Amino acid sequence: MTVLRLADVGTATDLATFVARAKRVDPDGAARLLGAGAVLAVYVSPVHGTGAPTVLGLRTLGLRAPADVDVVVPLAALSDRLARPTEAAELAVPPAEATGVSWAGVSPPRGGWTPLGSVTAGVLAVAAHAGVSEVAAGAGPAAGAPAVAQLRAGVWGRAIPGTPDLPAGVAFAAESLGFLGAEDVEVFSAGPWWRATTLRGHVLARQPLLG
C-alpha cells in the first residue's frame, strides 16, 4: 500500500476540502495523484465529456517525505481516506484505481506558458453562476442524458466575455473548487491550453474540445 506523508495536518485538511468540493460537482468522479519528490499534484476534472472542454482543477501540496506515484482513484474512496485527518497527516492511497477516466490521460504542459494578463474574480464568478443557472433551466426532468451533455458542452465551452477566450468551464471549476478570492486571476496560454491561476490553485482547460 502506498502511503503519502503530507506536510502537516493543515495540508491534509486542505486536501480533504478540495476533494470534497470536487466530489460535490462530480460524485462519481476521480482524482489523479501525481507525486514527484516533495510535491504532490492533485488533479480533478469538474468539466469533461463528449463535446465539452477538458477542464482540470489542480492543487499542489507539500510532502514531508519524497514520493513517486501516479495513480487515478475514485473521489469517493479518497474522500473516505481523508474524512478524519490524524496528527500523522498520512494518506493511504486507495488500492482500487478508477478506470475509464479519459481526462486523466491528458497532461497539460509543465512549461512554456505565456502570460495573457488577468481577469477579476468577479467576472469568473458571474460567468460560473450564469452557466449553472442555464444548465439547470435546460436540464429538466424530460431532458435525456445526450441532450444534457450537449447543453453542458455548449454552456461550458462558450468563451467568457472580457477574457482571452477562456471557456466558461474555467469559471465553473474555479468557483466550485473554491479557488476564487479577492485577488485577480492570472491567465496564461501554452499551445491549445489555458491556465487560470489564483493563490488557491490552478484551472487548466484545453480546446479544441476533447471527449
Q: Judging by beta carbons within 10 Å of its beta carbon (0-12, 13-18, 19+), is residue 87 exposed, middle or buried? A: exposed
Torsions phi, psi of 95, nearest 5? -75, -25
What pLDDT, on the 0 to 100 scale, is given for residue 141? 75
Q: What is the number of residues in the chain?
A: 211
Q: What's the whole-number mean pLDDT along residues 183-208?
A: 94
The mean pLDDT of 22-35, rounded to a whole number, is: 96
Q: Please give the average per-residue pLDDT across 30-59, as a whole number.
A: 95
Average confidence (pLDDT) over 142-149: 80
Q: SS3 for 25?
A: helix
Which ranges in the chain belong to alpha helices (H)? 9-25, 75-81, 121-138, 145-157, 168-176
Given a cut of 50, whether residue 15 has pLDDT beyond it is yes
Distance CA 24, CA 85 (A): 19
Residue located via cell numbers 462519481: 28
Q: What is the pLDDT of residue 207?
A: 74
What are φ and ψ of residue 53, in 5° steps? -65, 150
Helices (H) and strands (E) in the chain, counts: 5, 8
Position 41 scores a pLDDT of 97
Which pLDDT score, from 0 to 100, does residue 149 have?
A: 87
**How confident is the model over 68-82, as a mean pLDDT?**
96
Domains annotated on the chain, with CATH: 3-105 (3.10.150), 114-206 (no CATH)
Q: Rounded to an integer, what distance in angstroms lies between the CA atom of residue 195 and that of residue 193?
A: 7
pLDDT number for residue 211: 37
> What predicted TM-score, i.e. pTM, was given to this entire model?
0.94
pLDDT for residue 145: 80
pLDDT at residue 209 above 70?
no
Residue 67, beta-bridge partner list: 37
